[in-house]
């Protein structure tokens, strides 16, 4: 099974964090206090259903290492991970290498900057609240431009494909741009355009999308259920629990790190995560 792995999987696959455990030691009549650096589990999600989806990532990590499923990646997902602070502290997905696939369209052929933070930025409401200046190089800005293109402008891009550096794969994506436009129109907000672009990339590459985001799953299912069937969607959107059911796993692997417990650095050294 070939799956495009959404960014949230990588972020929430990290179950541990570093913290200090306070100790005291009696030296004669003196009590000394000192800290020891330990590993603890990150706080649980308030929704137990969502937490179970995250816990399922340990089973998915094992399936990846056993090569029973194949993970795919591409540049827009890489840019998203550059914005996160995830690491390798008890990481459920550690120990495998994703295969790179082609984006539906490579943004940097149309919008590029010497400022990497502009390229890595989503350009959504969160960035604006943080005080970031609007930029034409962000993910959302590029996707707004794509859906604004008229048929004449699309033909112009195709006519200049060689000058732009478009591959035949990308040229075909331009011919199918209506798919992306319709899905963005159904998504309700530019904040969702990036997720639609991930689904489009999965669709173009013949992959399914694995995600923790229920919004994009609901969008895909809703459009598929429309009587008019404005676009054909072959790519499935799967939550971790959907994937485990697909491969016949009824009992997920246990999470190897417990809440409210300190672990030493060496505790996980023989584990793949």
For 29-59, write each residue's pLDDT tens digit: 788 888 888 899 999 999 999 999 999 999 9
Separation CA 107–CA 119 (nearest Å): 9
Bridge-based pairing of strands 70-73 and 99-100 is: parallel
Q: Which of 13-22, 111-120, 141-150 has the lowest mean pLDDT?
A: 111-120
Query: Mean pLDDT over all residues of the chain?
Result: 90
Separation CA 91–CA 272 (nearest Å): 9
Q: Look at residue 229 in the predicted model and tell me its pLDDT.
A: 76
Nearest Cα neighbor of 137 from 123, 154, 157 is: 123
Separation CA 65–CA 131 (nearest Å): 41
DSSP-derived letter for residue 40 is: E
- pLDDT tens for 133-155 read 567 788 999 999 999 999 999 99
pLDDT at 104 over 90: yes
C-alpha distance from residue 273 to each of 44, 78, 196 (Å): 19, 20, 30
Separation CA 61–CA 234 (nearest Å): 25
Phi, psi for residue 250 in degrees, rounded to 5? -95, -30
Q: Which of 129-143, 171-185, 203-217 has the lowest mean pLDDT?
A: 129-143
Q: Look at residue 96 in the predicted model and tell me its pLDDT.
A: 86
pTM higher than 0.75: yes
Separation CA 259–CA 161 (nearest Å): 54
Separation CA 236–CA 217 (nearest Å): 8
Bridge-based pairing of strands 16-27 and 99-100 is: unpaired
C-beta of residue 105 within 8 angstroms of C-beta of residue 170: yes
What count of other Cβ atoms lies within 10 Å of the Cβ of residue 97?
Answer: 8
Q: What is the mean pLDDT of residues 208-233?
A: 92
Q: Which helix (H) or strand (E) holds 64?
A: helix 57-65
Q: Look at residue 65 in the predicted model and tell me its pLDDT.
A: 94
Q: Which of 18-22, 57-61, 255-259 has the lowest mean pLDDT?
A: 18-22
What count of other Cβ atoms lies within 10 Å of the Cβ of residue 130?
Answer: 8
Q: Look at residue 273 in the predicted model and tell me its pLDDT.
A: 65
Q: Look at residue 36 in the predicted model and tell me its pLDDT.
A: 86
pLDDT at 83 over 80: no
DSSP-derived letter for residue 252 is: P
């Amino acid at each position: 099974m070939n799956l495009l792995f959404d960014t949230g999987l990588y972020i929430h696959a990290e179950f541990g964090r570093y913290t200090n455990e306070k100790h005291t030691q009696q030296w004669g009549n003196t009590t000394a206090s000192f800290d020891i650096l330990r590993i603890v589990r990150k706080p649980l999600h308030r929704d137990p259903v969502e937490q179970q989806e995250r816990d399922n990532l340990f089973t998915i990590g094992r399936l990846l290492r056993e090569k029973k499923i194949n993970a795919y990646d591409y540049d827009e997902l890489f840019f998203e991970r550059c914005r996160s602070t995830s690491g390798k502290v008890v990481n459920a997905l550690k120990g495998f290498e994703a295969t790179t696939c082609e984006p539906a369209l490579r943004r940097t052929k149309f919008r590029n900057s010497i400022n990497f933070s502009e390229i890595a930025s989503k350009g959504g409401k969160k960035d604006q609240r943080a005080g970031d200046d609007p930029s034409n190089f962000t993910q959302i800005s590029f996707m707004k431009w794509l859906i604004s293109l008229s048929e004449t402008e699309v033909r112009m891009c195709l006519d200049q494909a060689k000058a732009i550096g478009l591959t035949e794969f990308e040229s075909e994506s331009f011919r199918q741009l209506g798919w992306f436009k319709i899905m963005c129109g159904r998504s309700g907000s530019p904040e969702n355009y990036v997720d639609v672009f991930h689904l489009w990339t999965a669709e173009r590459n013949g992959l399914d999308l694995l995600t923790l985001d229920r919004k994009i799953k609901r969008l895909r299912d809703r459009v598929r259920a429309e009587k008019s069937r404005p676009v054909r969607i072959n790519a499935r959107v799967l939550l971790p629990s959907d994937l485990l059911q697909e491969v016949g796993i009824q009992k997920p692997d246990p999470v190897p790190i417990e809440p409210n417990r300190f672990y030493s650095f060496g505790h996980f050294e023989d584990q793949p995560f």
